[in-house]
Each structure stands twice: as C-alpha cells, then as structure tokens.
Amino acid sequence: MKSTDPLPLDGQRILELAARSMFDLFANASEGMLLVDREARVVWINEQYKRFLPALGFPRVEDFVGHRVSDVVHNTQMHRVLETGKPILIDLLSNKAGTFVVSRIPLRDEAGTVIGALGIVLFDHPETTIQPLIQKFASLQRDLEDARRELATQRRTKYTLASFIGGSPAAVEVKRQARRAAQSTSPVLLLGETGTGKELLAHAIHAASARSRGSFVSVNIAAVPDTLLEAEFFGVAPGAYTGADRKGREGKFKLADGGTLFLDEIGDMPLALQPKLLRALQEGEIEQLGSNKVVPFDARVIAATSRDLAALVREGKFREDLYYRLNVLPIRVPPLRERREDIPALAEVLVEDIALRNGSAPYELSPAAIAMLSAQNWRGNTRELRNVLEQAAMRSDTQHIAEPQLEQVLRDAGVERLPPAPPLPAASAAVQGSALRPLAEQVAEVERAAIQAALEATGGNKVAAAKLLGISRAKLYERLELTV
C-alpha cells in the first residue's frame, strides 16, 4: 500500500532488506536476469543468463553487456518499460535462444524517476509448465501472420496495362496517357461511363509507378454511407465516441501511405466532406475523427467518376477548388461504342475468363456472334458485355456460342443496337455487292481478306500476323483452316 507518510527508521530498514532479499532471490532462483540503464543499455547479467549468449550469437559477455538491449535481444520490450514506467509482469518472449516466460520491472530512484529496468527469465522451458498458454500464443501468432499475408495480398494490384484489352487508336491513346501518368506523382482523374475499365486503369497506373511496392487501397464513395465516409477516409481516434474501438482505427489515407489511394465515384462525395478532403490533398496530412493530432501521409491519389464533374461544379454540387486539385492529369476512358474494333478481342478474353471461373473448357464465339456483339450500343460497356456473354455461356449446352442464342440473350437483356455503320471502303466492295447473302458468309469473306492482308504485310510470318490482327496464334491457325 502506497503512503505519502515517511516510513519509520526500522520500517525503512526492513524495506531495504526486503528489496535486497527479493533481488538476491530472483538472481539466484530465476533462469536468468539482466539490468539495463535509462538509455536501455545492458549493464549487468547474472550467471544463469550467460548460458543464453551463444544461442543469441554472442560468445563473449563483453559482446553483449554494454550494448543497447534491442540490438542484442530480439523482440525485447525493455525499452517499452523504460518509456512508460509500467511493468510487464508476465509475458512470452521468443527469439533465437528459445521461448521464455519473462517479467520486466522498472527501477526508480528516490525521486521516482525511472533509472533502468530489470528483466527476469522465469521459465526457459515453458512448454513443460504452461503448455496450453504456449499453444495459444503460437496459434495467435500464426493467425496474425496469416491475416497480414492475406491483407497484403488484397492490397496488391490486380491488373497491369496489358489487362486493358484493345489495339484501336482510342485504346492505344488511353494506355499511352496511363503510362505517362504512372511516371508522375500528381493526382489522376479517370473520366468515363460505367464499366469502361476505370478501376482497371487505376490498378495499372499504380503497378507501373514507383509506388508499385506500396499498397493499393480503394474506396467506393458511392457504396459508403455519408455518415461513415469521414471515418473511412481519416480513421477514428481511440474512444472518439461511444462504441468506438479502444485501439482506434486507421483510415484509408493512412493505410495507403507509401502507395496509391483510389477514390472511385468521386462525383458522389458529399459536399460537406469535400473541404476536409481538399485540405488532406493539399497539406498531405489528416486528423482522425475525435483527435486534434495531425498525422502526415504520403499517398498518390487516383480518382474516378462516371459523372460530369464540370457540370456538378457549375451546379454548386462539387467544389471548384477540389475539382482543380483532382483534375491535374485527366484521362478519358472511351466507351465500347467508340472502339468497336476492340470488341472481338475483348469478347475472346472475357469468354476465356468465364470458362476459367466456371472450371469448363473455353467457349467459342462464331464469327456471326462476334459481328453481332460489335453491332451493339453497350450502355454498360465491358460490364454489360461480360454479363451478356456469361448469360449466353450458361444457356449453351456446348462450348460454342452461336448467333441465334446470343440474339435471344441480347433481346432479353434489352441491349441497344448501334445505328447502321457507314459504307465500308472500296476494299470490301465485294461484301457490299452481296449484302443479301447470309451474314456468316459475309463475315467469313471479310476475315479471309483481313488474314490475307496481314500475312502479306508480315511476309507470311504467322506470329506477327496474329499480333497485327489482335488474335492469338492458335486462333489464326484455326481461322486459316476454316478459310483455306
């Protein structure tokens, strides 16, 4: 029991003897003991502790004593005791010498100032005495490591620029702009309709940047309730409000430190929260909810929206200064109807991915089915195209998707057709002159002409011809067999 009254002389003497007796007892009866000074340097170890030195990598006592404890004892918490002045009475310590049950006690002078700490090894073979505790500790350690690995996997990028399928001028230009953006640290604003691949490009820009080893953290603003967005962005201080985690919670800005933060659907950002987001972007620092402490962060921001931000600014629904802060490197991602020539290659990749996810053999699209896909409006772009292909695959009894079944899916899904295409150039006059023939025959004739032209342009090199046509080599050989 602590008292402010001075102890009588005999009581003081008893206290000193008790302290000395306890020290002697632990020094002789424990499995090991060490002392550190206020700078966390080891100043003394007892005879029992010396037997651990070879396993720790120190054959001589002088190689151990006199050094900072964190440099010679892996996983030590002695520095924490010195910083807080609080003891750690029972703990498990694992290092190269083994697993130990230890106790750590701060040492104070007459004025109550911490002048050092005492570390005691209570058991050096705890598995024989506290096996259940050891097993639980080991299990928790494994779970923690598994969780860390899983989290690291989730925050890696899923796509690269090669994942953005297409060789059309529009697709090539988007990839060129993305490569340029990857070399910069300025904010990127991805603009485009839903399903055009904005998130894919965000992943790709991160993967091609100097921050690729850092985390890629994304927030879909439209999917988070307005009342929770501030906590999602900036985190929550310990005990900030009733029910808050006692340990606090880091926000997405801090989780993305050293990497990239992707703000999807930025056009849905509540107006009241926009000033705080602007300040974070300008100052490179945030304040957790319920805290006055400023925390710095270093994250590259990529934002995306399917809405017209400029129109929202004019309507007073989006801050003009935030718009200019985000709109440093704008990249417009074109819809599928503006790059129709990419649809065959994109459809081929999608049906292969659908088959892979279903654990089935790859699906085959007939030429007429591909032509039909290229003639649609695709308001939902790649996302809608995938949905239609997945429905067609599920309805097919074989691995072949033909025009009739695809037409039925398109009709049921209400997909809009594009307006009639302009007349083809003179090179395809033969097809124009026979427009009344079945579509499959016309498509096959165009394919034959395209393959022949590609082979002539590459001097008969089939690999180069396949690359020029945007198809795989196997697909080229297959088409050659069908057209020869």
Name the domain boundary from 334, 362, 387.
Answer: 334
Mean pLDDT across 260-287: 92
The answer on 327 and 251 residing in a single domain is yes
Residue 444 lies in a domain: yes
The answer on 277 and 225 residing in a single domain is yes
The answer on 233 and 197 residing in a single domain is yes
Residue 273 lies in a domain: yes
Residue 344 lies in a domain: yes
Pairing of strands 42-45, 32-37: antiparallel
3 has pLDDT over 60: no
Angle between helices 439-457 and 473-483 (to 10 degrees): 120
CA dihedral 189, 195, 199, 204 (to 10 degrees): -100
244 has pLDDT over 60: no
Tens digit of pLDDT for each residue in 40-88?
A: 999 999 888 898 899 888 989 999 999 999 899 988 899 899 999 999 9
The answer on 174 and 105 residing in a single domain is no
CATH number of the domain that residue 363 is part of? 1.10.8.60
Residue 142 lies in a domain: no
The answer on 403 and 270 residing in a single domain is no
Tens digit of pLDDT for each residue in 180-205?
A: 999 999 999 999 999 999 999 999 99
Residue 151 lies in a domain: no
Task: Please tell me the least confidently modeled range out of 199-213, 284-298, 319-333, 424-438.
Answer: 424-438
The answer on 365 and 286 residing in a single domain is no
In the chain, count of helices (H) and strands (E)? 21, 16
Name the domain boundary from 131, 148, 175.
Answer: 131
Tens digit of pLDDT for each residue in 290-300?
A: 888 888 989 99
CATH number of the domain that residue 466 is part of? 1.10.10
Count the helix, strand and coil residues of the chain and give each as a percent rounded to the nearest 5: 50, 15, 35
* Interacting residues of 144 by C-beta distance below 8 A, sequence separation 6+: none
The answer on 253 and 188 residing in a single domain is yes
Residue 366 lies in a domain: yes
Tokens of 366: 């007939």
Residue 108 lies in a domain: yes
The answer on 273 and 178 residing in a single domain is yes
409 has pLDDT over 70: yes
How crowded is residue 421: how many other Cβ atoms within 10 Å of its Cβ? 9
Predicted pLDDT at 385 = 94
Q: CA 451, 435, 422: angle at the middle one, nearest 5? A: 80
* Counted domains in the chain: 4
**Alpha-carbon distance 32 to 375, whole Å?**
80
Predicted pLDDT at 429 = 43
CB 96 within 8 A of CB 56: yes
Predicted pLDDT at 339 = 93
pLDDT band at 433 (very low <50, low <70, confident <90, very high): very low
The answer on 304 and 173 residing in a single domain is yes
DSSP category for residue 285: E
412 has pLDDT over 80: yes
The answer on 394 and 317 residing in a single domain is no
CATH number of the domain that residue 93 is part of? 3.30.450.20
Among the ranges 128-137, 139-148, 288-297, 423-432, which has the highest mean pLDDT value?
A: 288-297
Rounded to two decimals, the pTM is 0.57
Name the domain boundary from 400, 421, 442.
Answer: 421
CATH number of the domain that residue 192 is part of? 3.40.50.300
Residue 100 lies in a domain: yes
* Interacting residues of 375 by C-beta distance below 8 A, sequence separation 6+: 417, 418, 421
Predicted pLDDT at 431 = 40
Phi-psi region of 396 (alpha: psi -120 to 50; beta: other; left: phi over 0): beta
How crowded is residue 337: how many other Cβ atoms within 10 Å of its Cβ? 17
**Alpha-carbon distance 304 to 194, whole Å?**
10
The answer on 125 and 228 residing in a single domain is no
How crowded is residue 93: how many other Cβ atoms within 10 Å of its Cβ? 20
**Alpha-carbon distance 389 to 347, whole Å?**
8
CA dihedral 414, 420, 426, 430 (to 10 degrees): 60
Among the ranges 107-116, 200-209, 423-432, 460-469, which has the highest mean pLDDT value?
A: 200-209
Residue 350 sits in which domain range? Answer: 339-421
24 has pLDDT over 70: yes
Predicted pLDDT at 454 = 74
Tokens of 273: 């929260």
Predicted pLDDT at 240 = 60
Q: Please state, rounded to an integer, the average pLDDT across all residues of the chain.
A: 82
Burial of residue 29 (CB within 10 Å: 0-12, 13-18, 19+) is exposed
The answer on 289 and 232 residing in a single domain is yes
pLDDT band at 242 (very low <50, low <70, confident <90, very high): low
